[in-house]
Structure 1
């Protein structure tokens, strides 16, 4: 049996249910990717999620949710003195804004127990993490975390890195650039979004983005451009492009990149060509953004 593992932070989500009431859910960028991976991969693959949670009732509810979605929770570590992070979505005049409470989040301790982390990574054919995974960690823990991933890569795991930028999570722009560089150097597959690369690095075209991550040692780079073409580069095949699919009505872009990552990685894991995997990724993301919420079961139908 083959094994996929995503690492990061799953948070409690509070979204408006009307009349001053809020609906509770669970979400997070790498969790969203794992959720879609479970629905795309055959059953001879296990899909696991590695994070740290507390021992309180809301942590129990989160783990139960993951179990119920078919995600293996065996790599979740319990930290008694901590709990899980929470965010609330507020919508004003159609615009979504987010308020976060994650000061006591156990996920910030992902790299505090190296024996546990190494154990969670062993035996995985494919591992996925993001810049958010790194951003929530204390600065020194980022090196420990990436060191553990580098060991897993040497053991044969394919490591994928989504460069999800959340500037408010980092201590400074310099720390963010250093963190992204560290993450990219740890990965075989890098998944940047060009609009974010423009802001952080001052890139003027995808060729600059591609060159940077290629020089960091990636074997595969997939540069997303929103409604523009997908720019691909693979060490064995060079550069190519996939035309973006036209979407008539965009409802919610929350998990566009997360679902894209799942579509691409699942395709590659199943032995599809890069072109077919990229096409699957773009089709899935285009469906997801036409529905509300991050987790859209019907978006996977027929893929």
Structure 2
């Protein structure tokens, strides 16, 4: 099977812990992380593209070269004069992370400002992936335009996947956050939330409540990530609880959910078996949290040799 996977969002410069008070520079961001792990897990017949906006300075050039080097397509990357990527730093304590951000003038805030390019990219793709963070960094008009395009893709039978990835600090108000994330889910075929976010910000009392709420909005499939409790999969008319893969001592949980999403989508489009895809994705996520940083080398994922 072959196709085209399009991930839409913001890639940032990442500073992560490297020991002895040193920091390691990398590139990451929730939707780029998912594209990275989808690329690792998909067959070579699949193309993986990243839709974002970069600036016209050296760091943007380096980021675009990083995409190219790792077979993540840059055909739909906009370059904006006078702009630069955002930056964030990870602070770790006992494997749990906190973040400091510098992203207010990030070029990616304008990623959806060219509606023709956005439509062309989505029309050229078979899987379209975006997140609540993608929506949060855009202007209200640009977010509405993106949602209109993914609704068109959903109506055309494409697999539109959405992770609400709720980050209140990025939103102007709770009301705007709730309304826009709800529209993101309504515009998608598959919603891939994390239960702790949904419980905290939407008041869901159980994983089943999260599934019911998103399916009532029109999502055909809901895959709820629930940390050490595993994942609850409601897909293709079937429901199953998939256990997490135990990890004795996590090193860095930065990309646990993003890697799960990328691995799940990669395996699901090949097998059409959501439970098997979730088991596979749980194994990938377990390996990812045993390493520092959001993007770990593909040879550490335990994948069969190509």
Same fold per superposition (TM over 0.5) = yes
SS in 1 for 2:191: strand
Deviates more, 1:37-46 or 1:102-111: 102-111
The structural deviation recorded for 1:12 is: 0.7
Distance in 2, matches of 1:94 and 1:201, equals 26
**Any stretches of 5+ residues in structure 1 without a counterpart?**
none
The structural deviation recorded for 1:72 is: 0.7
Aligned pairs, number: 302
Residue 178 of structure 2: aligned partner: 177
Residues 168 and 223 (structure 1), Cα distance of their counterparts in 2 relative to 1, 3 Å cut: same
Residue 16 of structure 2: aligned partner: 15
Residues 196 and 92 (structure 1), Cα distance of their counterparts in 2 relative to 1, 3 Å cut: closer
Distance in 2, matches of 1:94 and 1:243, equals 20
Distance in 2, matches of 1:205 and 1:91, equals 29
Residue 232 of structure 2: aligned partner: 231
The structural deviation recorded for 1:50 is: 0.4
Residue 188 of structure 1: aligned partner: 189
Distance in 2, matches of 1:79 and 1:290, equals 36
Distance in 2, matches of 1:220 and 1:164, equals 17
Question: Residue deviations 1:233-283, cap 9 Å, x none?
Answer: 12x423222223222121111000001001110011112411111111111
Distance in 1, matches of 2:288 and 2:260, equals 9
The structural deviation recorded for 1:95 is: 6.1
Alignment map for 1:1-303 (pairs within 5 Å): 1-17=2-18, 21-91=22-92, 96-234=97-235, 236-296=236-296, 297-302=298-303
Distance in 2, matches of 1:290 and 1:261, equals 17
TM-score for both structures, normalised by structure 1: 0.94
SS in 2 for 1:259: helix
Residues 20 and 226 (structure 1), Cα distance of their counterparts in 2 relative to 1, 3 Å cut: closer
Distance in 1, matches of 2:281 and 2:103, equals 31
Residues 15 and 286 (structure 1), Cα distance of their counterparts in 2 relative to 1, 3 Å cut: closer
Question: Residue deviations 1:38-68, cap 9 Å, x none?
Answer: 1111111000000011111111010001111
The structural deviation recorded for 1:167 is: 1.1
TM-score for both structures, normalised by structure 2: 0.93
SS in 2 for 1:51: strand
SS in 1 for 2:262: helix
Residues 157 and 95 (structure 1), Cα distance of their counterparts in 2 relative to 1, 3 Å cut: closer
The structural deviation recorded for 1:111 is: 1.9
Distance in 2, matches of 1:96 and 1:268, equals 29
Indicate the structure whose relative CO is greater, using CA pairs within 8 Å and at least 6 residues apart.
Answer: 2
Deviates more, 1:94-103 or 1:186-195: 94-103
Contact conserved, 2:95 with 2:251, CA < 8 A, in 1? Answer: no
SS in 2 for 1:294: coil
**Any stretches of 5+ residues in structure 2 without a counterpart?**
none
Distance in 2, matches of 1:93 and 1:121, equals 40
Distance in 2, matches of 1:158 and 1:240, equals 21
SS in 1 for 2:229: coil
Deviates more, 1:19-28 or 1:179-188: 19-28
Distance in 2, matches of 1:238 and 1:97, equals 36
Contact conserved, 2:53 with 2:110, CA < 8 A, in 1? Answer: yes
The structural deviation recorded for 1:20 is: 5.8
